[in-house]
Chain A
């Protein structure tokens, strides 16, 4: 039985800057930050309201990717083409106000949708996330 998704990979342009952004600006906590023998830095963060879901902030240049592919991924991240997923919140308006105050970029303020209240935000690398407060508990 599949019970969920425990780790989602997020490509970032600079792991140190991403660590700052996710912890200082979004309020995530670091769950692991280790350097592996092969040069890869395994850096995971967890949203404050979750116990079993993490993001691994991956540097394409120190990953399983070859150098050319890594550069292509970096370009896609930088131009804003990639979206790792949807962040869920219990208070879209309140969190949007607080995060925007801390300097988080939103390309769309909270708006009513058939499924809830949704904003769109960017991380410091250029990844975009839907930022959604669901109407129904069935999806959370």
Chain B
């Protein structure tokens, strides 16, 4: 693949990722994102994963959970309301994914945030744009493989 073709593909998947960042509360089926990008589903997932080190579905889940964390910290909503506000349709799926990524349940997270209190020291936009808003211990447990891949890519080892 030529170099300019690479840049074109990267811009296309970046637009898809921006759409996940912006419209995470909508259903956003990956098939629709692939169609918007002009790829088949398989191609889209492959190009996205090779650019960002994780599949678009995984990224969408992390984005929703990250938004849920912010709402649980800063807004007086029930766990169910937060679940629906960030685009999950099932409380069971939300709680399971949240637990996998954050390492505790949404309600435990909310209680702890209320106990600690105070505004977060890191600006919200940076927490949003960086990919490190989740506790390292939980990530290590669940995404050791993905992290290893990212680290490998970053240091140019793979």
A90 to B13 CA separation, bound complex (whole angstroms): 33
Instruction: Say if the beta carbon of B116 comes within 8 Å of chain A.
Output: no
- With contacts A78-B10, A130-B125 taken as known, whether A105 is within 8 angstroms of B3 at the C-beta atoms is no
The residue that B14 contacts in the complex, of A79, A83, A108, A113, with Cβ under 8 A, is: A79
Contacts of A83-135 to chain B: CB distance below 8 A: 83, 105-108, 111, 113-115, 118, 120, 122, 126, 128, 130, 132
Shortest Cβ distance from B13 into A: residue: A79
Give the residues in chain A near B21, CB-CB below 8 Å: 107-108
A113 to B125 CA separation, bound complex (whole angstroms): 9
A120 to B8 CA separation, bound complex (whole angstroms): 22
Name B's interface SS.
helix
The residue that B124 contacts in the complex, of A78, A79, A113, A126, with Cβ under 8 A, is: A113
The residue that A80 contacts in the complex, of B18, B119, B124, with Cβ under 8 A, is: B18
Instruction: Say if the beta carbon of B148 comes within 8 Å of chain A.
Output: no
Shortest Cβ distance from A68 into B: residue: B3
- With contacts A80-B17, A108-B21 taken as known, whether A13 is within 8 angstroms of B7 at the C-beta atoms is yes
Instruction: Say if the beta carbon of B22 comes within 8 Å of chain A.
Output: yes
Instruction: Say if the beta carbon of B96 comes within 8 Å of chain A.
Output: no
- With contacts A13-B7, A80-B18, A122-B18 taken as known, whether A108 is within 8 angstroms of B13 at the C-beta atoms is no
Number of residue pairs across A and B with beta carbons under 8 Å? 56
The residue that A113 contacts in the complex, of B7, B51, B123, with Cβ under 8 A, is: B123
Q: A115: shortest Cβ distance to chain B, in Å? A: 7
Instruction: Say if the beta carbon of B32 comes within 8 Å of chain A.
Output: no
- B123:A78 contact, CB within 8 angstroms: no
Instruction: Say if the beta carbon of B36 comes within 8 Å of chain A.
Output: no
Q: Which 7 A-B pairs have the closest CB atoms?
A: A78-B10, A114-B119, A80-B14, A79-B10, A107-B21, A78-B7, A78-B11
- The 28 listed contacts between A and B (C-beta, < 8 Å) are A13-B7, A71-B6, A74-B7, A75-B6, A75-B7, A75-B10, A78-B8, A78-B11, A79-B13, A79-B51, A79-B52, A80-B17, A83-B129, A106-B22, A107-B18, A107-B22, A108-B22, A108-B128, A111-B124, A113-B124, A113-B125, A114-B119, A114-B120, A118-B125, A120-B125, A122-B18, A126-B11, A128-B129
Residues of A participating in the B interface, judged by any CB pair closer than 8 Å: 13, 71, 74-75, 78-80, 83, 105-108, 111, 113-115, 118, 120, 122, 126, 128, 130, 132
